[in-house]
Amino acid sequence: MQQPRRVVVTGLGALTPLGNNVNDFWNNLIEGKSGAAPITKFDTTKFKTKFACEVKGFDPLNYFEKAEVRKMDPFTHYAMVSSEEALKDSGLDLSKIDKTRVGVIWGSGNGGFSTFQQEIMEFAKGDGTPRINPYFIPKVIVDIASGWISIKHGFMGPNFTTVSACATSTTAIIDAMNYIRWGKADVFVTGGSEAAVNEAGIGGFSALKALSTRNDDPATASRPFDVDRDGFVMGEGAGALILEEYEHAKRRGAKIYAEVAGGGMSADAYHLTATHPHGTGAALGMKWALEDAGIELSQVDYLNPHATSTPLGDVSEMKAVINFFGEKPDHLHISATKSATGHLLGGAGAIEAIISIKAIQEDTIPPTINTTNVDPALPTGLNIVFGKKLKKKVNIALSNTFGFGGHNASAVFRKVEDRT
């Protein structure tokens, strides 16, 4: 039986609450900075939560013509900008590659949420006459970002969008990995974007009692594992990765960040919004990811957990980690980076994949910030990196993402070895 083709990462792009490119994002992350601040996008006077992790200093007119800006929702702006950075970073000469062998799998949990809200609010103000923007549907549909990316560059390979709530962009990365493994394409643009910092997004998650209300100190509101955590902090932005078949990358002398070694997906089959209390589905996703990668538990150096800073979710995930890795996994270090970035929903997995890859490249584990009083309900024996970055040899990293509906996705990245 023919072995699956190897898949590597050759380009990265990021547009985040901590920086509008990969270098700024990574440097601010490892320095322990927070992306949370009062919301600027709308009047929060009557909202219980008045802060979020917004993208800062971003003007789409710096990247697109005015006519193009009007045709896109912000989630597509973010997708286009981050994917452009990743393509440039990859060094691919688009004039010399077979574009029928380049695909796009781009994730978003909500798609054109801001556009949908804006159009409905405008309609409600009127006399009932449906004066709808002719680009309303193309701006709203969740698959449109992958369409825009392919149209701009002429990529004619497999093209679609994954939707698995907050596991979305990890699912996209796993799907792109598998299409390359199976020989269906040589290169993929993959990742995810989200732009849900608006009245509907903040109001909706607040109604679920999922958001922190620490309005007096937003920068410390996202505090995974802390006994005083009171919910997650909404984030927005995008992360993009260029995945490439290993030999294809070698032939062109590409810079290789890491190998996408495996992926696992599972379902809790438990509750609409809550994780399984024992982390059963999370453990299955991690198990299948490591089995897919052919990696032993003792080889994993770093875990970037889902860890959103919710009272139930953080504990259930760490129970899954202890149950899966053993009572005292000394080799494994953990850091919850949503403490700095907030929760990018469908874009979370993409920027956390970038974090995992940079941890491998730089042999540096970013810190969990804001946690001052560790919840006694957490299992003991966990090596959680609090406060400051940790210099450590990182050969293998595991990234977890979980979504409403019980969707779980875990991806494994490792340093590249030449096995020829």
Secondary structure (DSSP) of 17-53:
TTBSSHHHHHHHHHTT----EE--SS--TT-S--EEB
Known catalytic residue: 306? yes
CB proximity list for 24: less than 8 A, separation 6 or greater: 18
Angle at 119 between CA 116 and CA 121, to 5 degrees: 105
Q: Are 377 and 315 in contact (CB under 8 A)?
A: yes
Confidence of residue 2 (pLDDT cuts 50, 70, 90): low
Model confidence, pTM: 0.97
Checking if the pLDDT of 1 tops 60, the result is no
For domain 7-414, the CATH class is alpha beta
Confidence of residue 250 (pLDDT cuts 50, 70, 90): very high
Known catalytic residue: 53? no
Q: What's the rounded Cα separation, in Å, for the pair 356 and 361?
A: 9
Annotated active-site residue in 166, 276, 333, 407 = 166
pLDDT of residue 408: 97
Checking if the pLDDT of 124 tops 60, the result is yes
Known catalytic residue: 166? yes
Annotated active-site residue in 77, 276, 306, 333 = 306
pLDDT of residue 419: 59
Q: Comparing C-alpha atoms, which of 356, 324, 180, 347 is closest to residue 258? A: 356
Annotated active-site residue in 77, 276, 333, 343 = 343
Confidence of residue 163 (pLDDT cuts 50, 70, 90): very high
Q: Please state the rounded mean pLDDT for residues 36-41.
A: 98
Structure token pair of residue 379: 């299992």
Instruction: State which H helix or E strand residue 412 sits in.
Output: strand 407-414
pLDDT of residue 158: 98
Checking if the pLDDT of 110 tops 80, the result is yes
Checking if the pLDDT of 384 tops 60, the result is yes
Q: Please state the rounded mean pLDDT for residues 373-391.
A: 96
Burial (CB count within 10 angstroms: exposed 0-12, middle 13-18, buried 19+), residue 242: buried
Average of per-residue pLDDT values in the chain: 96
